[in-house]
Amino acid sequence: MPPVTTTEAGYVSIVQLTDSHLFADHSARLLGLDTFASLNAVIDQVLDEVDQMDLVLATGDITQDGSEGGYQRFIEAIGRLPAACRWIPGNHDDAALMATLGDASGLNADWIDLANWRIVLLDSSIPGAVPGRLDAEQLDHLDAALASAGERHVLVCLHHHPIDIESDWMNPLGLQNADEFLQRVDSNANIRGLLWGHIHQQLDAMRGKVRLLATPSTCIQFDAHSADFATDTQSPGYRWLRLHTDGSIETEVSRLPAGRFVPDPDASGY
């Protein structure tokens, strides 16, 4: 994995890939969808659309089965991108295995400093559970990152959503100690953005002066504001971000053309 290098442009350019849900078994499908093929199609689009790339962030649920084979397929796919990648686990992942593999491949980081920005990576996963939580170690890690950031602007990344997303079935599966986390966010003027995955849909909102961003999956999409589990027919996608020197964030979601990689409405097994 290439090292993170200092950007030479007037902004830091980041690509977020999230919720790829890969399998070790090449024939396995998620709700009828080939998640490895959809990830590679999204990466093709990134290569076509993003001229400058300083960092790739993979914000959890890298695999569906928590397998070494699934992680190796992800490493193979992102190897086509010209920037370093750093990852964090989600609820479908094996965080311990990711830590081991990430040490060997350079995918682990507590935080990354690029230009006058600090990107903080948090593990919100709970082994064997779907909701998330930032344990004492992770909160201490966040405190240390913020305390040592100096004058840098800060982008904080995690897997689970820390706010109400107006979805009856999905809200209880978010960050269980969101209040503890958001107290830190609200009290720190350096934090400019929060970035997460997990919800398989697009979100762009504000909390005071902090940008709140969630991103579509590279495979299946969830129906927004649904009372019960439901998929959406929107295509997979990714998010690009430009972190400017004044602390502002420019960002958009880009999706594959409509009709590509739509889950089977009759399939089950998520």
* Distant-in-sequence, close-in-space partners of 259: CB < 8 Å, separation ≥ 6: 235
d(C-alpha 259, C-alpha 167), whole Å? 24
Span 93-142, pLDDT tens digits: 999 999 999 999 999 999 999 999 999 999 999 999 999 999 999 999 99
Q: Which CATH class is domain 12-255?
A: alpha beta
pLDDT at 264: 86
In this structure, the strands spanning 11-17 and 237-244 are antiparallel
Span 9-43, pLDDT tens digits: 689 999 999 999 999 999 999 999 999 999 999 99
Bridge partners of 22, per DSSP, are 63
pTM: 0.95
Between 5 and 233, name the one with better pLDDT.
233
What is the full DSSP assignment across 167-205? -TTTGGGSBTTHHHHHHHHHT-TTEEEEEE-SS-S-EEE
- Asked if residue 3 has pLDDT above 70, the reply is no
Span 53-98, pLDDT tens digits: 999 999 999 999 999 999 999 999 999 999 999 999 999 999 999 9
pLDDT at 266: 76
Q: Where are the beta strands (DSSP E) in the chain?
A: 11-17, 55-59, 85-88, 111-114, 117-121, 153-157, 191-196, 203-207, 210-214, 221-222, 231-232, 237-244, 249-255
> In the structure, what pLDDT confidence band is assigned to residue 265 with cuts at 50, 70 and 90?
confident
Q: Is 195 left (phi over 0), alpha (psi -120 to 50) or beta?
A: beta
Bridge partners of 11, per DSSP, are 244
pLDDT at 31: 94
pLDDT at 152: 98
> In the structure, what pLDDT confidence band is assigned to residue 52 with cuts at 50, 70 and 90?
very high
- Which of 13-17, 180-184, 223-227 is the least confident region? 223-227
> In the structure, what pLDDT confidence band is assigned to residue 192 with cuts at 50, 70 and 90?
very high
Contacts 24+ apart (CB under 8 A), 200-208: 200/19, 200/232, 201/165, 201/232, 202/237, 202/253, 203/161, 203/165, 204/251, 205/163, 207/163, 207/182
- Asked if residue 5 has pLDDT above 60, the reply is no
Instruction: Return the structure tokens found at 59.
Output: 């914000």
**Whole-angstrom Cα Rg for the chain:** 17
The candidate with the shortest Cα–Cα distance to 175, out of 216, 210, 129, 211, is 129
Instruction: Return the structure tokens found at 34.
Output: 């080939």
d(C-alpha 137, C-alpha 196), whole Å? 19
